[in-house]
Amino acid sequence: MTGSGKLAQRVARRSAAEIEILQQAGEIVAETLQVLQQHMQPGITTKELDNLAEENIRRRGAVPSCKGYMGYPATICVEIDDVVVHGIPDHTQLKEGQIVGIDLVACYQGYHGDSTITVAIGEVDNERQRLLTVTREALAAGIEQARPTTKLREVCRAVQQRVEAAGFSVVRSLVGHGIGQQMHEPPQVPNFVAEGEFPDYELVLQPGMVLAIEPMVNAGEPAVRVDSDGWRVRTADGRPSAHFEHTVVITEDQPLILTERRDSLPLNYAPE
């Protein structure tokens, strides 16, 4: 068996019935993020956002995937300005001019959906606004390459090219991943191509594979550091970082985004 064949053996291909459940998990995540985005105004605390997220997820019959995972104490991960990933919600209030990421995973009937948004709180400076735009575009570029018979490296390359063309950098010590019955499954999905670093670059994408594609983009250098709490990861140079993510299924044709958000929800929306 070839190396790429062995790689493909490690990566689950989900049935139509499984994808239907994954889609429901993705819808719950997408809806919850929209509820949070409506409340992301100056003065709200990250703990209040965490409570809103857990309430909405459980109301929909799902459970927060991150809460309790390896001891993580909350439903959401909060990423304020220079925080790249894994910020624990607390009594910190959001402030005008910040960019704030929310990374959210929910499990529905044994399957996980995973998505991240980064939101401008009020008016932000040009660097932060451009960072949001480029990171969102990099995610779209990666998803566009997520098609059958394409190698995973093309997803990674598309993200990297869009980011670096704008003068920003991708985080190299954190990557996307497969997802399904576990929150993190093979393959690893880097946001860059460095020959020989990840064997998963050679994976040939096939229908039924499910990926969490998630560019983490720094305004400055790619290096990061971990806070003393062992969770919160920040940019090493203190400059801002943005993060967007979707859960995506490889189909026979174009990629299917399971965590796509509707254009809008009514204020104070609550699902039936």
* pLDDT string in tens for the chain (272-residue length): 334 556 767 899 999 999 999 999 999 999 999 999 999 999 999 999 999 999 999 999 999 999 999 999 999 999 999 999 999 999 999 999 999 999 999 999 999 999 999 999 999 999 999 999 999 999 999 999 999 999 999 999 999 999 999 999 999 999 999 999 999 999 999 999 999 999 999 999 999 999 999 999 999 999 999 999 999 999 999 999 999 999 999 999 999 999 997 654 333 333 33
- pTM exceeds cut of 0.85: yes
Please state at what angle helix 126-144 crosses helix 152-165, rounded to 10 degrees. Answer: 160
Angle at 64 between CA 23 and CA 218, to 5 degrees: 85
Boundaries of every domain in the chain:
3-255
What CATH code is assigned to 3-255? Answer: 3.90.230.10
Radius of gyration of the chain (CA): 18
217 forms beta bridges with 170, 242
Q: Return phi, psi of residue 162, to 5°.
A: -65, -40
DSSP class of 94: P
Task: Extract the tokens encoding 9.
Answer: 């053996």
Contact 19, 208 (CB under 8 A): yes
Q: Return phi, psi of residue 49, to 5°.
A: -65, -40
Report the candidate in 146, 153, 152, 143 with the shortest Cα–Cα distance to residue 215.
143
